[in-house]
Structure 1
């Protein structure tokens, strides 16, 4: 077998640092064979400056919104952002298709190897047929009116079926998921969580102070969203308890869940999770720092998440709320706001943790024999990333 051998100033496996004299040995296709000392590696070693690292995992993206880059101004706030996306997402099919292709190309160039992609439509199916990136397709559904739950769910199931045809085992790569606590009725939650094979789910969680106020008190700016959508929610009565507790009880003990954004997640929320009162098997917290800033929200309290040993991952969100689909750019921003967090911890969030969250850690996320995690070189100051394999 012909091998490729890689050496850099530093080698990060996805979970730990190895000394700079370590050499990563792979097949020509990128399957990890071994990591050996340079003295045992022989010749033909490719050497690089920077950090040798597994490919990045983007745990939260909306590839289908790539045509909306620059359409919504920055700093609108949560409600105006949501209204604008809903009202302005309709474009010519050719423009949407080209934007999806360009966005996927940019992710490949930015060292991303796998994506947790939110899908409200089947617009990304054709692009994904090429298999250039690994995707878990999260087919998103929403509907706050109880009586529409079955109709809304069936519409999402029709989208699910279009993605299912791409895969030999559809349930491994596709799920039907709730949009957010403020947009999914209890009846719709029941249909989602009990859909056969729905073992991995994701939800937009606690993205703004207005969301928390609406869920916990029934008041605030979210009423303006429903007025804009011409939806009568006069029936809504908040349960007057923590927003996490209100909806996480809908999930099942065998389900894993990625909570996305977590801007207002606080100590009380994390205490509830730590107490084991909730039924979920595995919980991940996805940080989308640049999208928070773009919309005008704060960043989550990442140090608090770390204090509670939360499993943190990284996402880009969409080009409607970001200037690029780059995990490295997300790490740059997190480092800017939390400079005390060590490089290795940040890289683990972007590699192994992300792979575990998407249940792809048997093939991605770390340099272990038999895996094909992708190989990237990252500058030590996070200024650049280059894909090697």
Structure 2
């Protein structure tokens, strides 16, 4: 039996909003039809009518599900270096506690209308839940290793973790410019250029990263000393981290640059000229939690490259909620439209993950999930707007 739903607006994402539009679903929640006129609905059909805006299910393009047990454990607004130290020196937690918090976080994301997640993993803790979850997951097996001599060992560990996530979608990925050596980047590039898998890397989350790469100065020197690592081998690059690392990334892969809190206009132009398949990922609430700063959104809006949204982890966010990320962006950048931010939160993410045949937009034949944004004002959100998951 078909189900008919309507709202003040439908946001198909791949086309203009439809005022008072009607979406028709099959028994398994696949889209059968999208109607713009009520008089085209057969007589006697019950239409579920809602106040608000119906949008596709959200795509969370950056998460660390396995860190969910660290909710509220790390102080806010102390900067990335102190955040990294807090994670590194934190107490050990039981596997049972970690598993329980992973389950809670996964369920919370599902209830928040998230249908797919690009998740970063350093352990196997999240595999069991991902196998059972109603959410689609791609797992990035994240590789660390700044010292050249440990590159091969670190790479083998990363590949083994990636393979342990089978049959789930997964790929190996570098953590960040300041934690991956050129030698380790070469191993990753050799593997990923053959497999054509996805790459995700933390980028310019703190200005200290750029200082370190340009001049080998700043707080990262203290961080390496804290970790008892000798970095005499590293030489100042006379250019920032993004310009140093982008040439080392695989040529054929879809690359996700995450955070970009201190990315400049010149950096964006550099990436565009480099002609790699790059997507920008913004995690505004995590940026405020850690550095108390947001990326220069105006610059990214003008970029020709796609933008997606992520939540980061519960170690650096109060909740894993894409609507909350959208509301933060709209509050700080009123020139950004809700329609554009929904595109970032849905279709762009689905395209990056390669799952846009099913997710990301309201189109006949797709099964993207439906979210209702309530207490809206025309085509805009309000402070009171919430989300109701419809399918």
The interval holding the TM-score normalised by the smaller chain is: over 0.9
Q: Please state if 1:290 is matched with 2:285.
A: yes
Q: Distance in 2 between matches of 1:109 and 1:268?
A: 39
TM-score for the superposition, normalised by structure 1 = 0.95
Number of positions where the alignment pairs a residue of Structure 1 with one of Structure 2: 379
1:321-340, aligned counterparts within 5 Å?
Answer: 321-340=316-335
- Alignment match, 2:347: 352
CA contact (8 A) 1:263 1:297 kept: no
**1:191-270 maps to which residues of 2 (within 5 A)?**
191-195=187-191, 196-270=194-268
1:204 aligned counterpart, secondary structure: strand
- Report if aligned partners of 1:31, 1:372 keep a CA contact under 8 Å in 2: yes
1:51-79 deviation per Cα after TM superposition (whole angstroms, max 9, x unaligned): 01100000000000000001101112110
Is residue 182 of structure 1 aligned with residue 200 of structure 2?
no
1:146-171, CA deviations, whole angstroms, 9 ceiling, x for partnerless residues?
1100111111112111102x24xxxx
Query: Do the aligned residues in 1 keep the contact of 2:110 with 2:135 (CA within 8 Å)?
Result: yes
Q: 1:301 aligns with which of 293, 296, 299?
A: 296
Among candidates 361, 379, 390, match of residue 388 of structure 1: 390
Q: Give 1:11's aligned residue.
A: 10
The match for 1:134 among 128, 133, 136 is 136
Q: How far 1:198 moved relative to its partner?
A: 4.4
Q: Structure 2: which 5+ residue stretches go unaligned?
A: none
The normalised TM-score by structure 2 is 0.94
Corresponding residue number in structure 1 for 2:148:
146
Q: Indicate how the Cα distance of structure 1 residues 198 and 179 shifts in structure 2: closer, same or farther if over 3 A, else same.
A: farther
RMSD: 1.3
Q: Which residue matches 2:31?
A: 32
For residues 105 and 308 of structure 1, the distance between their equivalents in structure 2, rounded to whole angstroms, comes to 34
8 Å CA contact retained: 2:11, 2:18: no
Counting only pairs closer than 5 Å after superposition, residues 98-137 of structure 1 correspond to structure 2 as 98-137=100-139
- Is residue 359 of structure 2 the alignment partner of residue 369 of structure 1? no
**How far apart are the structure 1 equivalents of 2:70 and 2:240?**
34
State the match for 1:170 in structure 2: none
SS at 1:194 equivalent: helix
